[in-house]
Structure 1
Amino acid sequence: MCSTRAGREKVGSFVRGHPRGLITLAGTEMNERISFYGMRAILVLFLVASVGQGGMGIAEGAATAIVGIYLSMSYFTALPGGWIADRVLGERNAVLVGGIVIMLGHISLAIQLGSFFVWAGLALVCAGTGMLKPNVSAMVGKLYDEEGESESASRRDAGYSLFYMGINLGSAIGLFLVGWVGENVSWHFGFGITAVAMALGLIQYVLGRGNLGKAGERPGNPLSEAEKSALKPRVTAVVAAVLVIGIVAFATGTLTVDNVTYALTALALVVPVCYFVYMFVFRSGDMTGEERVKLKAFVWLFIASAVFWMIFDQAAGPLTLFAKNSTDLTVGGFAIPAGWTQAINPVMVIVFAGVFAFVWSKLGDRVGTGAKFSVALVLCGLSFVLMYAATLATQGGSVQVSLMWLVGVYFLQTIAELCLSPVGLSMTSKLAPKAFHAQMMGLFFLSISAGDAVGGQVSRLQPLLGGDYYLLLGGVAVLGGIAMMFFLGKLRGLMAEPKPRDVKLAV
């Protein structure tokens, strides 16, 4: 019984065992995901639709590459977004600014004023997502630190699983609502709905900020005056270099959509490597010895995450086109939009997220992070092996297959996702050096960026390889997951996780 005022406040700050601020952050992220996944439901279909149908008339291979790079850059910008929060704005203000920029991007896509506004809209959404997503996720972990829960890894994992359920609720709403409106009314009207969703998310966030306590209120490692003075010429030089490269590319005729996707793919792969070198070599003094060891473990989990997302986010490109071209989408006499098939995954996450939160809480430390990641890779790989079988069932494209093929694919991917994604967010929060908390969350999202960038480029091969494309990628993931199982003990040591035999079973 809590008889003191402090005790009463602590009990009052929890909703069913979790910080009340979790509702505010989950609600913000839910609305942002309505806008993000709503646009994702129709983006590849909008790009391949003819100009007469209100689309862009882009070839399928190029369109899937664009979608992959768009998804990649949405996560790539999480690193500078995390840096800005750590050094300048604080996570709380960064989330607010990011939401505003996202809303402006969706408005740009909705206004139907030509291709420039389409590319500008995609760029704004990418930039805003980088400000909002890593920082709202990082604040979830800080809520548990504030309430004295940092020692309870399983409790934090459960909190992130519940947070992740809110994400997928928003994803499902966006996919269903915008998917139907975009395909049946107007692409641009669908984009307009995503702008409204982000506006509602901003209102919810501002009204609920009082529940966040001091989480993300100030930058974790603010810039000194000397650093601010040194930063200005560097930023100016980078902006000038980008402008010069753009002008030269335009003048020489090399500023094409394909070349831009190639350049951004290279960027998504080179930057994480450089950033790891920067942290290990040049900023090592800002970390304790224990933090440096944990960062080594993070590198291996980063690679596993990249492989997972290379496959998982193909849903927005090749799998949606497979649904449109090769799947019987008639359900109960109603022809569902192709974009709705992407909603199978978030609906399943909503169903199973609570179960996984309960399981992780009960298992505690008996199943380590590495084991969860390896299982995720194997299951995700098997989903593409099943996808290979689905392409065989089309008999060379002459037969439309049952929707249940895609349901099976998404079921395997959902279980894999629940083993990796919310656990990955929680893992990053635990492994992050104190001075780079938000940046580390951004670095985790760079693993998604790298995977999506590679996935976007290799998706160009799908029309050429047919079903063999899915078998090839699935095999890579399965082999990666099996290989990871041989190093689980090493990972536990690097992460300072207790060995299974040292963990007492809960009664």
Structure 2
Amino acid sequence: MGATAKKGRYPIGYWICCITFTFERFAFYGTKPLLALFLATSVAEGGIGLSEVDAAPIAAALTSFTYITPIVGGWICDRFLGARYAVTLGCILMGIGYLLGWQSHSVGMVWAMIIVVAIGTAFFKGNLAAIIGRLFDDEKLLDTAFSIQYSFVNIGAFFGSMICAALYMSTFKKGDVLGYRQVFFLCAILIFIGGAIFTACYGLLQGQGKLPFKYLTDTQGNVIGQESHEKKEKTTAPLTSLQKKNVIAILLVTLFSVVFWLAYYQQDIFLTFYIRDNVMRTVGGFELSPAHLTTTWNGLLCIFMSLAAAKLWEKLSNRPKGDLSMFQKVTLSFVFLGLSYGALALMDIVRGAGKAHFLWICLFGVLITCGEICFSPLGNSFVSKFAPKKYLSLLMGIWTMASFIASTINGEIMKLVEKMGDFNIMLSFMIISFVCAIVMFFLIKPLNGLTSEGEE
């Protein structure tokens, strides 16, 4: 690994990876909030013309597929393909996928977009995060590095959601026809630009991602200290007892991740339709997009809160007690998650038969973003620290599998909304979140025991 990382600074290649994430997230968060509305908008207004219940599982598939496919991409890069080349390939495929969305006038073409974008994400997401993990020898820097990287992710999410929301409702709108498809075209162009920048900067990655992750490489990408056949024998060796404990801890936290992301992804479909029908969205004569209200606010909050969290984790890590454990942070994340849904339930009561003020959604956004900051960026750091190196990309992919499961279930939530009503859905997520916080609190000590021996 690079000397820059060892000295405690951030290598240039790290910033290139962060910028690449920004372009990809711009495209994803420009598209994802729109997809449910695009599918449920009439053909005359530029949509596909499905019902909300029929649109929900298709819209959810974009998220779910882009989280399950990195497991396959991780397996490939652990064994056969250098991660840097996979990231470039992923950008090309994702760009092609968004171009298919630009030309979509049927459900079949929307599915084609989703599938191609998902395949591209398979090569992109976990592998770019894994490259970042390999750029640092100092594990104390990892939490901070991934929190800063998460700010770049949310710069893309913020500007992608804000700009695309304005474009499809105004600039790209022609008469009554909303500009969904033009947004997809813009996202394709930006993905291609991000991939081109990353590819042009291969030389700044300190040799990482040049070979499959089963090899430890120097700053030129050469295998360190062993011939490849010796390294192959090592990668086929069974896991040690300590490595097995670390894997168990990763898998247990992944189970809690399913619940967290299921609650979080309600912003994509259920809350999008709820905001459209039950929240006042006009500010100064300008109508806010129901699809992007939560996404844009969340992205803006994450930009600053991720940086603040990075400073906080760094400060805590210098204490005699050290930083809070990943498991303590997960507990906090569920507390904030429960509070956010408590705010939504209260909003639904207060509004009565009228429409709620959009500031309620802003309060919800602050609370759920606090939970996200405690949970999401630290998961990548946690896996990078404790995953056996030969399975790094694979376990990164399994970590993201929780999002696939959550998003798949999310596609069916609209059916429950029809049966239970909005308020009961909000109340249920509040209760489930607080229960998870209590359970995780009592699991902190045993989970710390599984990983403490592995800390260096």
Following superposition, the deviation at residue 377 of structure 1 comes to: 1.4
Instruction: Tell me the residue number matched to 1:171.
Output: 157
Residue deviations 1:117-137 (CA, integer Å, cap 9, x gap): 221011111111121011001
Q: Note closer, same or farther for the CA distance 1:75–1:166 as it changes in structure 2 (3 Å cut).
A: same
Instruction: Tell me the residue number matched to 1:291.
Output: 243
Instruction: Tell me the residue number matched to 2:202.
Output: 209
Instruction: Tell me the residue number matched to 2:31.
Output: 39
Instruction: Tell me the residue number matched to 2:188.
Output: 195
| Paired residue secondary structure (2:208) | coil
Please give the alpha-carbon distance, in whole angstroms, between the structure 1 residues aligned to 2:122 and 2:424.
34
Q: Answer whether contact 1:64 1:460 (CA < 8 A) is retained.
A: no
Q: Answer whether contact 2:262 2:406 (CA < 8 A) is retained.
A: yes
* TM alignment of 1:269-348, pairs within 5 A: 285-341=237-293, 342-348=295-301
Please give the alpha-carbon distance, in whole angstroms, between the structure 2 residues aligned to 1:113 and 1:498.
53
Instruction: Tell me the residue number matched to 2:143.
Output: 157
Q: Note closer, same or farther for the CA distance 1:285–1:458 as it changes in structure 2 (3 Å cut).
A: farther
| Paired residue secondary structure (2:135) | helix
2:348 is the counterpart of 1:391:
yes
2:366 is the counterpart of 1:411:
yes
Equivalent residue in structure 2 for 1:441, among 396, 400, 413: 396
* TM alignment of 1:339-488, pairs within 5 A: 339-341=291-293, 342-364=295-317, 365-395=322-352, 398-466=353-421, 467-488=423-444
| Paired residue secondary structure (2:429) | helix
Q: Report the residue type matching 1:18 in the other structure.
A: Y
Please give the alpha-carbon distance, in whole angstroms, between the structure 1 residues aligned to 2:97 and 2:6.
35
Q: Answer whether contact 2:242 2:453 (CA < 8 A) is retained.
A: no
Q: Note closer, same or farther for the CA distance 1:330–1:322 as it changes in structure 2 (3 Å cut).
A: same
Instruction: Tell me the residue number matched to 1:48.
Output: 40
Unpaired segments of 5 or more residues in structure 2? Answer: 174-178, 216-234
Q: Answer whether contact 1:178 1:194 (CA < 8 A) is retained.
A: no
Q: Report the residue type matching 1:484 in the other structure.
A: M
TM-score, with length taken from structure 1 = 0.80
Please give the alpha-carbon distance, in whole angstroms, between the structure 2 residues aligned to 1:33 and 1:356.
20
Identity within the alignment, %? 27
TM-score, with length taken from structure 2 = 0.89
Please give the alpha-carbon distance, in whole angstroms, between the structure 1 residues aligned to 2:323 and 2:27.
37
Q: Report the residue type matching 1:340 in the other structure.
A: H
Q: Note closer, same or farther for the CA distance 1:221–1:406 as it changes in structure 2 (3 Å cut).
A: same
Please give the alpha-carbon distance, in whole angstroms, between the structure 2 residues aligned to 1:76 and 1:300.
18
Residue deviations 1:462-496 (CA, integer Å, cap 9, x gap): 23322101111221121011111011111111011
Q: Note closer, same or farther for the CA distance 1:387–1:463 as it changes in structure 2 (3 Å cut).
A: farther
Q: Report the residue type matching 1:384 in the other structure.
A: Y
| Paired residue secondary structure (2:201) | helix
Please give the alpha-carbon distance, in whole angstroms, between the structure 2 residues aligned to 1:302 and 1:310.
12
Equivalent residue in structure 2 for 1:101, among 93, 97, 105: 93
Following superposition, the deviation at residue 14 of structure 1 comes to: 9.0
Following superposition, the deviation at residue 420 of structure 1 comes to: 0.5
Q: Note closer, same or farther for the CA distance 1:338–1:309 as it changes in structure 2 (3 Å cut).
A: same
Please give the alpha-carbon distance, in whole angstroms, between the structure 2 residues aligned to 1:284 and 1:401.
59
Please give the alpha-carbon distance, in whole angstroms, between the structure 2 residues aligned to 1:143 and 1:498.
19
Instruction: Tell me the residue number matched to 1:489.
Output: 445
Q: Report the residue type matching 1:482 in the other structure.
A: I
- How large is the RMSD of aligned CA atoms in angstroms? 2.2
Unpaired segments of 5 or more residues in structure 1? Answer: 1-5, 223-282
Please give the alpha-carbon distance, in whole angstroms, between the structure 2 residues aligned to 1:458 and 1:44.
13
Please give the alpha-carbon distance, in whole angstroms, between the structure 2 residues aligned to 1:203 and 1:284.
35
Following superposition, the deviation at residue 16 of structure 1 comes to: 8.7
Q: Report the residue type matching 1:39 in the other structure.
A: T
Following superposition, the deviation at residue 296 of structure 1 comes to: 1.0
Residue deviations 1:388-430 (CA, integer Å, cap 9, x gap): 22222332xx311111111111111110011000111100111
Please give the alpha-carbon distance, in whole angstroms, between the structure 1 residues aligned to 2:360 and 2:58.
26
| Paired residue secondary structure (1:213) | coil
2:135 is the counterpart of 1:135:
no
Instruction: Tell me the residue number matched to 1:263.
Output: none
Q: Note closer, same or farther for the CA distance 1:62–1:384 as it changes in structure 2 (3 Å cut).
A: farther
Residue deviations 1:60-108 (CA, integer Å, cap 9, x gap): 1232232223211110101001111112212111111111110000000
Following superposition, the deviation at residue 15 of structure 1 comes to: 11
Residue deviations 1:42-68 (CA, integer Å, cap 9, x gap): 111101101111211222123223222
* TM alignment of 1:258-269, pairs within 5 A: none
Q: Answer whether contact 2:79 2:212 (CA < 8 A) is retained.
A: yes
Q: Report the residue type matching 1:199 in the other structure.
A: F
Q: Report the residue type matching 1:411 in the other structure.
A: V
Instruction: Tell me the residue number matched to 2:166.
Output: 180
Q: Answer whether contact 2:32 2:62 (CA < 8 A) is retained.
A: no
Please give the alpha-carbon distance, in whole angstroms, between the structure 2 residues aligned to 1:81 and 1:401.
43
